[in-house]
């Protein structure tokens, strides 16, 4: 007679391994230049999660001319997470695309979705009224559907009813309307990351102002492992098969 498989022991081993090796997660920010990509990279690192680990982080924002990666490690309950964000120059900047940006975006997304998990965002959301935000969001959702572009979290990878419910909600909210800022301001005695305007401060980490928190939670909290699993099991596997086939021709 065999005893139980000892699932507890397996969990312990996984935990010990995770403690030793930590987690790594890579994000790349892409889009037209001037959209706020570099600012968003700074926003991500200056926002509250990283604060305790890096009190005096200063990342300069020159105009991005080439790929540029920034990594930081946070530690929580003995577990390390190394987040690397790669900033890119604007795609399509080199050609005159005044009149064809929409088709370029669509073609770019179509190809990108086959290679990586894509989380689209509406940048500079402070420049849109509430109605404009919603109209823009539904137009993008409609466009993605029409062109069969499957952004993350992809329906086909929902594993059970709970996934479908949770991810279904996220799919309704995507693309998140975000605001980026690398300056801090004092608001009612609190130090907040935000954009100061003549009529007030747009707070990045305030859900009433923009959806940056939803984006950050999805990326580095609720869906971090799932993003990595899909990258590894689906995207990388597809890439590997293509390369293997190429080398056999």
Residue 153 interacting with ligand GDP (CB under 6 A): no
Binding residues (CB under 5 A) for Mg ion: these are 37-38, 64
Select the residue interacting with ligand GDP from 13, 21, 127, 238 (CB under 6 A): 127
Q: Sheet holding 184-187: strands in order across?
A: 184-187, 190-197, 200-203
Residue with structure tokens 């959702």?
141
Q: Pick one of ligand GDP, Mg ion, none as the site partner of residue 137 (Cβ within 5 to 8 A by kind).
A: none
> Are 175 and 137 contacting, i.e. CB atoms less than 8 angstroms apart?
yes
Report which secondary-structure segment, H or E, holds 29.
strand 23-29
Q: Which of 182, 175, 129 is nearest to 152 (CA)?
A: 175
Backbone angles phi, psi at 120, to 5 degrees: -75, 150
Residue 231 interacting with ligand GDP (CB under 6 A): no
Residue 223 interacting with ligand GDP (CB under 6 A): no
- Mention every residue, 6+ apart, whose C-beta is less than 8 A from residue 123: 31, 35, 36, 37, 40, 178, 180
CB of 177 to ligand GDP, least distance (A): 10
Q: Pick one of Mg ion, ligand GDP, none as the site partner of residue 35 (Cβ within 5 to 8 A by kind).
A: ligand GDP
CB of 173 to ligand GDP, least distance (A): 18
Closest to Mg ion by CB, 38 vs 43, is: 38
Task: Determine how β-strand 190-197 pairs with β-strand 184-187.
Answer: antiparallel
Closest to ligand GDP by CB, 122 vs 144, is: 122
Task: Determine how β-strand 68-76 pairs with β-strand 79-87.
Answer: antiparallel
Closest to ligand GDP by CB, 195 vs 223, is: 195
Binding mask 76-115 for ligand GDP (x = CB under 6 A): --------------x-------------------------
List b or e across 102-117, with b for residues whose CB sees 16 or more CB atoms inside 10 angstroms: eeebeebbeebbeebb
Q: DSSP assignment, residue 233?
A: I
Residue 33 interacting with ligand GDP (CB under 6 A): yes
Residue 126 interacting with ligand GDP (CB under 6 A): yes
CB of 233 to ligand GDP, least distance (A): 31
Position of minimal CB gap to ligand GDP: 36
Q: Which of 218, 238, 108 is nearest to 153 (CA)?
A: 218
Taking CB under 6 A as the criterion, which residues in 194-213 touch ligand GDP? Answer: 195
Q: DSSP assignment, residue 62?
A: P
CB of 186 to ligand GDP, least distance (A): 20
Which residues of the shown chain bind ligand GDP in the complex (CB under 6 A)?
33-39, 61, 64, 90, 124, 126-127, 179-180, 195
């Amino acid at each position: 007679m065999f005893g139980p498989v000892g699932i507890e022991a397996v969990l312990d081993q996984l935990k010990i391994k995770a403690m030793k090796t930590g987690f790594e997660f890579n994000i790349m920010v892409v889009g037209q230049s001037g959209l706020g990509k570099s600012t968003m990279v700074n926003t991500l690192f200056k926002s509250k999660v990283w604060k305790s680990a890096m009190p005096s982080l200063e990342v300069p924002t020159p105009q991005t001319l080439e790929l540029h990666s920034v990594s930081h490690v946070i530690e929580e309950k003995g577990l390390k997470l190394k987040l690397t964000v790669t900033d890119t120059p604007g795609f399509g900047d080199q050609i005159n695309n005044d009149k064809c940006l929409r088709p370029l975006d669509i073609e770019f997304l179509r190809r990108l979705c086959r290679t990586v998990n894509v989380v689209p965002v509406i940048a500079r959301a402070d420049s849109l009224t509430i109605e404009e935000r919603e109209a823009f969001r539904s137009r993008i959702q409609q466009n993605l559907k029409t062109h069969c572009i499957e952004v993350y979290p992809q329906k086909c990878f929902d594993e059970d009813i709970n996934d479908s419910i949770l991810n279904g909600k996220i799919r309704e909210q995507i693309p998140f309307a975000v605001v980026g800022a690398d300056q801090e301001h004092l608001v009612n005695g609190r130090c907040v990351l935000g954009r100061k305007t003549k009529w007030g401060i747009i707070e990045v980490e305030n859900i009433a102002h923009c959806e940056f928190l939803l984006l950050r939670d999805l990326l580095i909290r609720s869906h971090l492992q799932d993003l990595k699993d899909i990258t590894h099991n689906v995207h990388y596997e597809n890439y590997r098969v293509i390369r293997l086939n190429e080398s056999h021709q």
